[in-house]
């Protein structure tokens, strides 16, 4: 066991640290998946089915493909899709790390029965999903031992960026090849103060807009899964439609504020949250003085465009969950009540 952990105390941390290499491997894998790419090209709409973290990756694909490729994307949870399928046509993508999640497989079967082509995005060669779909993108993240998805999520994101690049004739290629170096930088950024604030909280909110909304959902899922602290991810603009009632000095808000279309309004959201007494941990880009002044704790990431920053933010939030759970002495690799893959509906 010790040898397999390679000096890390937990598989989750080991898997977080493998991510720069994983990112690189997955981009390569996408380039070597012409059959899958052919089923995605030339479509004006795509449907995605997935569960849990893979569903969050699906939401990232929606923003990427809509923003950069002009493709309309519908993202559905596998568990809903089978019983309440949307009108279907064209290609349906199933995202599943394990390739064995019953709800995702059932949804894909339903799509096939309605005449759709199907593409799998999975980390497990020879898994059920690869045998039932028309084409597969293998993530090449290597086996993921920790119940909490980390490197498989980053690989799913890398595949989304690779697909975006393929559908835009290489317009993201140069930027994508720099992302692994950016992720490397995130592995050592000090976050002790933020970890301290999170570990003493009983409830946390994560907010973001655009690509950073799914990143917020995933950050919150990771936190609740391994630290057992209640955490909710929200699109930043939705907080005032109800959750504001819960804000107090005891509910830290993790606000992802990366320059982009919604950046000015994100700053206003942070001011509104501060005015209601909640401490703010802001995640932004280096040199953002305005954000640093607004926040109680400011975590600065290397300057990068949004599609790179979503990778660095995601890794940072994995670390925040991991280090918080570790400081609370949780059973990180095997959280209570959870299984690595959910093979029953």
Binding site for ligand AGP (CB under 6 A): 51-54, 96-98, 101, 104, 147-149, 225, 341-342
In the bound state with ligand AGP, the residue whose beta carbon lies nearer, of 132 and 342, is 342
CB of 97 to ligand AGP, least distance (A): 3
- Dihedrals phi, psi of 156, to nearest 5 degrees: -60, -40
In the bound state with ligand AGP, the residue whose beta carbon lies nearer, of 148 and 299, is 148
CB of 118 to ligand AGP, least distance (A): 15
CB of 342 to ligand AGP, least distance (A): 5
Question: Which residue in 53, 118, 107, 41 sits closest to 80, CA to CA?
Answer: 107
In the bound state with ligand AGP, the residue whose beta carbon lies nearer, of 275 and 344, is 344
List of residues 6+ apart from 158 with CB closer than 8 A: 22, 23, 26, 27, 30, 139, 176, 179, 311
* Angle subtended at Cα 298 by Cα 295 and Cα 301, rounded to the nearest 5 degrees: 140
In the bound state with ligand AGP, the residue whose beta carbon lies nearer, of 148 and 291, is 148
280, 249 contact by CB (below 8 A): no
Q: Which residue is nearest to ligand AGP (CB)?
A: 52
Report the distance separating Cα 269 and Cα 194, nearest Å. 20
Report the distance separating Cα 137 and Cα 341, nearest Å. 19
CB of 343 to ligand AGP, least distance (A): 9
In the bound state with ligand AGP, the residue whose beta carbon lies nearer, of 74 and 342, is 342
In the bound state with ligand AGP, the residue whose beta carbon lies nearer, of 52 and 252, is 52
Question: Which residue in 96, 111, 108 sits closest to 50, CA to CA?
Answer: 96
CB of 229 to ligand AGP, least distance (A): 15
340 classed as catalytic: yes
CA dihedral 332, 336, 341, 345 (to 10 degrees): -160
DSSP per-residue codes, 97-137:
SSS--HHHHHHHHHHHHTT-EEEEEESSTT-HHHHHSSEEE
The pair of three-digit structure tokens given for residue 206, joined into one six-digit string: 């994560």
Question: Which residue in 11, 30, 76 sits closest to 50, CA to CA?
Answer: 76
CB of 29 to ligand AGP, least distance (A): 16
What are the residues facing 254 on neighbouring strands? Answer: 206, 281
Active-site residues: which are they? 340
């Amino acid at each position: 066991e010790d040898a397999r952990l390679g000096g890390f105390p937990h598989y989750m941390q080991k898997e977080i640290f493998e991510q720069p290499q994983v990112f690189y491997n997955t981009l390569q894998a996408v380039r070597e998946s012409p059959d899958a790419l052919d089923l995605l090209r030339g479509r004006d709409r795509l449907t995605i089915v997935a569960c849990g973290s893979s569903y969050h990756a699906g939401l990232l694909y929606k923003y990427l493909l809509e923003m950069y490729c002009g493709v309309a994307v519908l993202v559905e949870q596998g568990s809903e899709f089978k019983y309440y399928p949307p009108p279907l046509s064209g290609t349906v993508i199933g995202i599943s790390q394990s390739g064995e999640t019953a709800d995702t497989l059932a949804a894909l079967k339903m799509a096939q029965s309605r005449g759709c082509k199907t593409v799998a995005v999975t980390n497990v060669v020879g898994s059920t999903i690869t045998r039932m779909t028309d084409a597969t993108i293998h993530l090449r993240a290597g086996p993921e031992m920790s119940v909490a998805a980390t490197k498989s999520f980053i690989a799913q994101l890398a595949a989304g960026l690779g697909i975006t690049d393929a559908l835009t004739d290489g317009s993201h290629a140069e930027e994508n090849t720099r992302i692994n170096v950016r992720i490397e930088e995130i592995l050592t950024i000090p976050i002790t103060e933020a970890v301290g604030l999170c570990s003493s909280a009983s409830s946390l909110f994560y907010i973001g807009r655009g690509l950073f909304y799914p990143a917020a959902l995933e950050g919150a899922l990771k936190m609740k899964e391994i630290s057992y602290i209640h955490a909710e991810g929200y699109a930043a603009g939705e907080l005032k439609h109800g959750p504001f009632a819960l804000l107090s000095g005891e509910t830290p808000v993790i606000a992802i504020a990366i320059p982009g279309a919604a950046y000015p309004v994100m700053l206003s959201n942070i001011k509104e949250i501060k005015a209601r007494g909640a401490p703010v941990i802001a995640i932004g880009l280096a040199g953002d003085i305005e954000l640093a002044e607004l926040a109680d704790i400011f975590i600065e990431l290397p300057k990068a465009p949004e599609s790179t920053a979503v990778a660095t933010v995601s890794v940072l939030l994995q670390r925040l969950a991991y280090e918080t759970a570790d400081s609370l002495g949780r059973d990180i690799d095997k959280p209570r009540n959870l299984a690595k893959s959910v093979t029953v509906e």
